[in-house]
Amino acid sequence: MEHKLYYKDPYITSFWTEVIDTGKDNSGRDFAVLKETAFYPTGGGQPFDTGIIDGVQVIEIEEVDGEIRHYLERPVEKKKVHGQVDWERRFDHMQQHSGQHILSAAFEDLFDMETVGFHLGKEFVTIDLDTPELEEKVAQEAEKVANKIVAENRPIIVKWVDAEEAREYPLRKELSVEENIRLVMIPDFDYGGCGGTHPKSTGETGPIKILGWERQRKKIRLEFVCGQRVLKQLQAKQTIIRELSGILNAPEGKLPEAAEKLVQNGKSLDKEVGEAREALIRMEAEKLVTDEPANFYCKAFEGRSLQELQKLAKFAISFNQKAVFLLVSNDGERLQVVCGRGENAEGNMKDTLTNALSLIEGKGGGNEAFAQGSGKMLISPEELLRCLKTSLEA
Ligand SMILES: [Zn+2]
């Protein structure tokens, strides 16, 4: 344990030591082993440290069979070197980690909700609470108590003990090791075994803010941030709010109202546009059958949806029950086809369509009087119309 400087003092960021071993892992990454190190390796839910060793960037730290491997951008020699831990990253981890201890303890003490999972992510921290439901007021109360513990600036004490001594403390969970037990304690609040790095008092954790939660199987996954991350989140949210405020031309407190109004406006506009479009199609259909009185209509269009073609055909049929309508549209990617006829016209529209669709690898359906479908642009709309006509006359 002597070589683990981060246990001796988690505030060591700069140190001189010796490279005692070097090597490459299976994927060819260079690593160095140091006589002692302040770089924390991935473990106990806490991510590894980064920094610089002898001027070379540290990419990852891993403990492999008791050996702490410092993966480096390029190899270093076996010699005396200087190590510099990226303190911003490490202190952030210390804040999130201790915040997790405090928040988990609050949920357990107040509501008997045990933490059964923990993840310290790049932006957010999550814990899994062993409960199927979480009410807003319960989350708020736990957050309040956690922040009270922070404000009281209680010491966070680390103590190495053996199994017998460990039994003297009210530990939350069974210990995972039998010897060299590292207890992390916040007096009269939280006692447990932990291998991570922590600040020396709860105050350094900074504020603890729950951001949200969702159900994950029978548990609740709760997302939160601590310390500097709270400021970062607040800044990000402020930027979004300010932008929204400008876009919606409303003060912060009136944003939901303004957004709701906008959505409702959009919905009624959509409805109006839909109705107007339908009226236009109806007029178009009426004009078609009035301008060119016939019993057979074959028309190719550009850029019209299948839905639009269907409407056009239905209106046209309503104006001329004696006619057959074969309509095709090319929307740039696919061919849309509609075959429809009036009550007093003849022909099997479904068969007519099916024959034509086979030429364009299309799919569709319908009945004897009305059928529609679409397929690939394997032939021109005009060619497809000719095929439909031939098929109908056959
Ligand atoms: Zn811990």
Predicted confidence (pLDDT) at residue 394 exceeds the cutoff of 90: no
CB atoms within 10 A of CB 330: 18
Distance 232 CA to ligand 1 centre (A): 23
Ligand 1 centroid–CA 237 distance in Å is: 29
Query: What is the residue-averaged pLDDT of the chain?
Result: 94
From ligand 1's centre to the CA of 202, what distance in Å? Answer: 12
Instruction: Kindly report, residue by residue over 87-140, the tens digit of the pLDDT.
Output: 999 999 999 999 999 999 999 999 999 999 999 999 999 999 999 999 999 999
Lowest mean pLDDT segment, chosen from 85-94, 172-181, 284-293: 172-181
DSSP per residue, 31-53: EEEESSB-PPPSBTTBPPP-EEE
| pLDDT above 90 for 332 | no
- Packed helices 381-393 and 349-357: angle between N→C axes, nearest 10 degrees: 130
- Contact (Cβ atoms closer than 8 angstroms) between residue 306 and residue 336: yes
- Expressed in angstroms and rounded, the spacing between residue 208 Cα and the centre of ligand 1 is 16
CB 39 within 8 A of CB 93: no
For residue 108, the CA-to-ligand 1 centroid distance in Å is 16
Neighbour tally for 298: CB within 10 Å: 16
Model confidence pLDDT, tens digit, residues 207-230: 999 999 999 989 999 999 999 999
Ligand 1 centroid–CA 190 distance in Å is: 11
d(CA 64, CA 73): 19
Residue with tokens 């009226």: 279
State residue 102's pLDDT score: 97
User: 127 CA to middle of ligand 1, Å?
Assistant: 13
Helix (H) or strand (E) holding 265: helix 255-291
pLDDT of residue 176: 79
From CA 77, how far away is CA 180, in angstroms rounded?
Answer: 33
Distance (angstroms) between ligand 1 centre and the Cα of 32 equals: 26
pLDDT (tens digit, 9 = 90+) per residue, 50-89? 999 999 999 999 999 889 999 999 999 999 999 999 999 9
3-state secondary structure (DSSP) of residue 292: coil
On the 0-12 / 13-18 / 19+ scale of CB atoms within 10 A, 147 is: buried
Span from the CA of 81 to the centroid of ligand 1 (angstroms): 29
Contact 34/83 with Cβ under 8 angstroms? yes
Instruction: For residue 224, report the distance from its CA to the centre of ligand 1, in Å.
Output: 16
Q: Which pair of tokens denotes residue 3?
A: 């070589």
Measured in Å, residue 184 CA sits from the centre of ligand 1 at 7
Question: Which of 1, 27, 206 is closest to 103 using CA atoms?
Answer: 206
Mean per-residue pLDDT, 169-173: 87
β-bridge pairing 30-34 and 80-85? unpaired
Q: How far is the CA of 198 from the centre of ligand 1 (A)?
A: 6
pLDDT number for residue 66: 87
The Å distance, Cα 101 to ligand 1 centre, comes to 6
- Mean of pLDDT values over 263-285: 96
How far does the centroid of ligand 1 lie from the alpha carbon of residue 182, in Å? Answer: 10
Banded pLDDT at 28 (limits 50, 70, 90): very high
Distance from residue 387's CA to the centre of ligand 1 (Å): 75
Return the pLDDT at 149: 97
